[in-house]
Amino acid sequence: MGYIEELREMIGTRPIILNGSAIIVLNHSQEVLLQLRTDTNDWSVPGGAMEIGETLEETASRELLEETGLKSEMLQFLGVLSGKDMYYQYPNGNEVYNVIHVFQADSVAGSLRVDEEGQDLQYFPIEKLPEELNPVTERILHKYLFAIAE
């Protein structure tokens, strides 16, 4: 059991501040990799919560590998998103105020594979993102993806 699960056992669904990393992965056609999540049933960039003792870069590398099967030779730090716009309530009632450290993965290697947190992994053209886009992911992509693509 991870840190967040242990914390949730103590406090229930009350709002918490959640530090984590999100990773933007683009293929050679400049399409963005999205994961159809099992917990929210919407599309999201790979990423997740920081565990005790990890650096944000370690969180990003771990989450990228766990959720996609990919490794990156270099993670480029793009910036941080936080505040009331990063509030999210999960379908199970858990409330979070995300502090998301956004990275772009360069030179990814490996084969795409879905883990237990995902139902599917797909690359999408920037101009044709799925309608079922996670609202936090939507904010991440509007802030950083469109700047990368220009």
Phi-psi region of 61 (alpha: psi -120 to 50; beta: other; left: phi over 0): alpha
Strands (E), 90-150: 95-110, 118-124
Residue 126, pLDDT above cutoff 80? yes
Name the band, by pLDDT with cuts 50, 70 and 90, for residue 147. low
pLDDT (tens digit per residue) in 7-27:
999 999 999 999 999 999 999
118 Cβ neighbours under 8 A, 6+ residues apart: 35, 36, 37, 38, 67
Enumerate the H helices of 25-134 as residue ranges: 56-68
Q: Are 104 and 26 in contact (CB under 8 A)?
A: yes
How confident is the model over 39-61, as a mean pLDDT? 96
The amino acid sitting at 26 is L
Angle, vertex CA 116, rays to CA 113 and CA 117, nearest 5: 95
Q: Structural domains in the chain?
A: 3-149 (3.90.79.10)
pLDDT at 41 (0 to 100): 96
pLDDT at 141 (0 to 100): 96
pLDDT (tens digit per residue) in 71-121:
998 999 999 999 999 999 999 999 999 999 999 998 899 999 999 989 999
d(CA 19, CA 73): 23
